[in-house]
Amino acid sequence: MVVDNRAMGRRIKSARQRASMSQEHLAELVNLSTVHISNMESGSGTPSLNTLVNIANALAVSTDDILCDSILCAKPAFEKEILETTKDCNDYEIRVLSYMIKAAKAALREDKDFRQKMKEYEELKKAASRSV
């Protein structure tokens, strides 16, 4: 899988903003130019591994938090994101979001079963057309 530079840049920017940090300050902390930070945040620049680790450390996030859109096994990063997203919700909002997540999960699993049944059906159709 290829690293999604735009998604990575959005996550760097989001983490920087959550830390109430300017691009200039982040650039100083990781010994880069502000232009380089801007390019990474826009997805047009790709950090080296060392730079990515330095950025993660400066922003107090994990590299998984920054790269989760490009990592297949990123469940912990997305679970953390869900918790971060909902931490300021009131009782009503969290209740509604809980209902929505449960409904979305049920729909996804139902769709997964349906897709599997359709795949099996298409395979049977192909086998039947070959035998005719």
The 10s digit of each residue's pLDDT in 43-56 is 998 999 999 999 99
Tokens of 107: 């729909």
The 10s digit of each residue's pLDDT in 44-98 is 989 999 999 999 999 999 999 999 988 888 888 899 999 999 999 999 999 999 9
Burial 30-44 (b: 16+ CB within 10 A, else e): bebeeebbebbbebe
Q: Whole-model pTM?
A: 0.66
Q: Which of 102, 20, 15 is nearest to 67 (CA)?
A: 15
Dihedral angle sign, alpha carbons of residues 40, 43, 45, 47: positive
